[in-house]
Amino acid sequence: MSDIKVPIAKPIIGQEEIDNVVEVLKSGMIAQGPKVSEFEEKFSLWTDAKYGVATNSGTSALHVALLSCGIGKEDEVITSPFTFIASGNSIVYTGAKPVFGDIDLNTYTLNPDSIEELITDKTKAIMPVHLYGQSAEMDAICDIAEDHDLKVIEDAAQAHGTTFNGKKVGSIGDMACFSFYPTKNMTTSEGGMITTDDEHLVEEAHIFRAHGSRVKYLHDDIGYNFRMTDISAAIGIAQLNKIDEFNKKRIENAKYLNKYLDDIDGIITPFARDNSTHVYHQYTIRVEKGKRDDWIEILTENGIGTGVHYPIPLYNQPIYQKLGFDGNCPNAETAANGVISLPVHPSLTNEDLDLVIDSLKKASDKIV
């Protein structure tokens, strides 16, 4: 196997991040403190939301948001099966059941047309997943939620800076959740953020984030230790100063790839919706079922890092089958059988991108 010359992801940590962390370490306040509050305020402002609640991961952000919306045992939450398992697991953690709607094969996000037939008297929320850096069809989803008095919790773990019809993801649903894992468009090393305009939901999130306590050492709810540290927040504040440039570079890289990949036989390049911003957390192509391993093998031989996001619809995961969760989502299965993510991160040079393009041409010549 050849050495990887162009990795699928590469976090960018600069001197500003290092200086911010050193400042926190010297301050003596390294747990949740003033830097977390500063990061919450700045990030929520950046997303056009009124409030932010920082957590120690994107998964815990989803878990806390669901609890804050009153989701619990016997409830159902409609979501996408074509996502990382944390999306579904966060629902399961509350005691609720994930119910899976199919996706749109253009955007790979939850198709609003699949939602209505899944709504029952147990349905309490819809959790659309903004995948690969592109928003779900939020106007239609919010209309359905309003008609049925359901909460909308955006899984925006891959969508920092994404817009839908001029509105920033994170400011559209009742709550939204972001991840700052190192491979995301911006990072805090590990961490998450909830955004919302609802003051009551913010208060609930604060309680569930910190051991279910409204008053110190007085616990009215079962809560969790999901707090972010000031160390992580210090990194996030520095990254927030750079995220717009990071996203701009991702978009430029995606346009460059699109220009030269559109004519290559055997691949479907990413779709970007008009009137919205796709920030390309992943640049994901689709190839014919049964041939993906051949494409990946040739790309790897040429030093190109790849990823498969995601190979198994959630309802086919062994643990979900064991728990009795099911689904019938042919578009999700089509996507799961054919997607390949390619490098698109801001560190790439034109030479890197050309190597990706040339490698795909070689693969097409051999496979198609």
Residues 117 and 114: their CA atoms lie apart, in Å, by 7
pLDDT of residue 214: 85
User: What is the pTM for the complete model shown?
Assistant: 0.97
The CATH 3.40.640.10 portion of the chain extends over 15-240
> What is the fold, at CATH topology level, of the domain defined by 244-367?
Aspartate Aminotransferase, domain 1 (3.90.1150)
The CATH 3.90.1150.10 portion of the chain extends over 244-367
pLDDT of residue 1: 43
Residues 162 and 272: their CA atoms lie apart, in Å, by 11
Q: Which residues of the chain have pLDDT under 50?
A: 1
Residues 8 and 191: their CA atoms lie apart, in Å, by 21
pLDDT of residue 215: 87
pLDDT of residue 2: 59
Residues 87 and 71: their CA atoms lie apart, in Å, by 14
Q: Which CATH architecture has domain 15-240?
A: 3-Layer(aba) Sandwich (3.40)
